[in-house]
Amino acid sequence: MTETPPEHLSEPLSLDPSCWSPQDIYYLNAALIVPRPIAWVSTLSSDGVSNISPHSYFNGISDDPPYVMFSIEGETDTYANLRDIPECTISFVTEDLASAMELSAVKFPSDEDEFEWADLEKLESECVRPARPKSAKACLECLVDRIIDVGNVNHMIILKVVHYHVSPEIWDKGRINMETYRPIGRLGGQYTKMGSRFKQRRPTWIEIRNANSTGVKQSVEVTSCD
Ligand SMILES: Cc1cc2nc3c(=O)[nH]c(=O)nc-3n(C[C@H](O)[C@H](O)[C@H](O)COP(=O)(O)O)c2cc1C
């Protein structure tokens, strides 16, 4: 029997997920697994129509060589396109691109070019057929490695990254500059901008053991990055 989530908790929630509807589990996951990066995925249909849509069930999974994944719910245009042309670009969504990204999430008919509706200029990719949005500050060009069906309706797309594009304005001292990058993240049904940043120095096992032998509990040093 499907239960509805309680309005308030008088004791900790202890939940068998099969007791709630998939929609309520989505609300729970989407609020607990946060902040999520947003993959702005551009694909191309077999008829040559460009598509771009956001996917926040997204993450990196390997660096040697680089692979990423995202998950599609249902038989969307992105899914159909990846079955036909197994290539895509993934752009990262920064604050300045938030509204264009939202527009691109509208369920447009399959034969509509979402770059045009979201007012996005296209750039040709180096290694894949789908275009990439010119305004993105960072973009990956990817080849589909495999598609794994997960659960009743999801398709996990595992992608090999074959090319990176990074704009000079978010690059500093050989790394991405978090100050200028300004990615947004998905937070339940909301979004978040970058908050304050900090570093923690991770002690070694030897430090923890030495501190412990003198009766001291090793602490973690925290420094602000702002
Ligand atoms: C921020 C954001 C994140 C989203 N994440 C996902 C996701 O991870 N998986 C998914 O299937 N749909 C996700 N969606 C919904 C799709 O973007 C939406 O269904 C879109 O219309 C699919 O477009 P398409 O049919 O052109 O592929 C997300 C929407 C937004 C706004």
135 and 212 share a domain? no
160 and 94 share a domain? yes
By three-state DSSP, how is residue 148 classified? strand
Asked if residue 93 has pLDDT above 90, the reply is yes
Confirm whether 94 is domain-assigned.
Answer: yes
150 and 212 share a domain? no
pLDDT at residue 226, rounded to an integer = 83
154 and 225 share a domain? no
203 and 110 share a domain? no
143 and 224 share a domain? no
39 and 81 share a domain? yes
What spacing in Å lies between the alpha carbon of 53 and ligand 1's midpoint? 6
Question: What range defines the domain where residue 156 resides?
Answer: 21-192
Share of the chain above pLDDT 90, in %: 98
Confirm whether 10 is domain-assigned.
Answer: no
Confirm whether 6 is domain-assigned.
Answer: no
Asked if residue 71 has pLDDT above 80, the reply is yes
User: Which pLDDT band holds residue 105 (cuts at 50, 70, 90)?
Assistant: very high
Strands (E) located in 11-127: 39-44, 50-55, 58-63, 66-73, 87-92, 122-123
pLDDT in tens, 155-200: 999 999 999 999 999 999 999 999 999 999 999 999 999 999 999 9
Q: Can you tell me the distance from the alpha carbon of 92 to that of 97, in angstroms, rounded to the nearest whole number?
A: 9
What spacing in Å lies between the alpha carbon of 101 and ligand 1's midpoint? 10
pTM: predicted TM-score of the whole model, two decimal places? 0.96
In short, whether 56's Cβ falls inside 6 Å of ligand 1 is yes
95 and 203 share a domain? no
Asked if residue 60 has pLDDT above 90, the reply is yes
Confirm whether 12 is domain-assigned.
Answer: no
Atom of ligand 1 nearest to the CA of 41: 27
In short, whether 35's Cβ falls inside 6 Å of ligand 1 is no
Q: Can you tell me the distance from the alpha carbon of 115 to that of 145, in angstroms, rounded to the nearest whole number?
A: 25
Q: Can you tell me the distance from the alpha carbon of 100 to that of 120, in angstroms, rounded to the nearest whole number?
A: 8
In short, whether 36's Cβ falls inside 6 Å of ligand 1 is no
Asked if residue 1 has pLDDT above 80, the reply is no
In short, whether 53's Cβ falls inside 6 Å of ligand 1 is yes
216 and 156 share a domain? no
In short, whether 72's Cβ falls inside 6 Å of ligand 1 is yes
Give Dmax over CA atoms of the chain in angstroms. Answer: 71
65 and 100 share a domain? yes
Count the neighbouring beta carbons within 10 Å of the beta carbon of residue 130: 24
In short, whether 191's Cβ falls inside 6 Å of ligand 1 is no
In short, whether 113's Cβ falls inside 6 Å of ligand 1 is no
Q: Can you tell me the distance from the alpha carbon of 193 to that of 183, in angstroms, rounded to the nearest whole number?
A: 7
Contact present, 132 and 122 (Cβ < 8 Å): yes
Residue nearest to atom 30 of ligand 1 (CA): 54
Confirm whether 2 is domain-assigned.
Answer: no
Confirm whether 11 is domain-assigned.
Answer: no
In short, whether 186's Cβ falls inside 6 Å of ligand 1 is yes
Residue nearest to atom 24 of ligand 1 (CA): 77
For the chain, what is the domain count?
2
140 and 106 share a domain? yes
pLDDT at residue 54, rounded to an integer = 98
What spacing in Å lies between the alpha carbon of 71 and ligand 1's midpoint? 9
Residue nearest to atom 16 of ligand 1 (CA): 105
173 and 64 share a domain? yes
Confirm whether 7 is domain-assigned.
Answer: no
Find the CATH number of the domain harbouring 167: 2.30.110.10
Please give the mean pLDDT across all residues of the chain: 97
Average pLDDT rounded to a whole number, residues 110-129: 98
Confirm whether 1 is domain-assigned.
Answer: no
In short, whether 87's Cβ falls inside 6 Å of ligand 1 is no
Asked if residue 2 has pLDDT above 90, the reply is no
Atom of ligand 1 nearest to the CA of 186: 1
pLDDT in tens, 30-54: 999 999 999 999 999 999 999 999 9
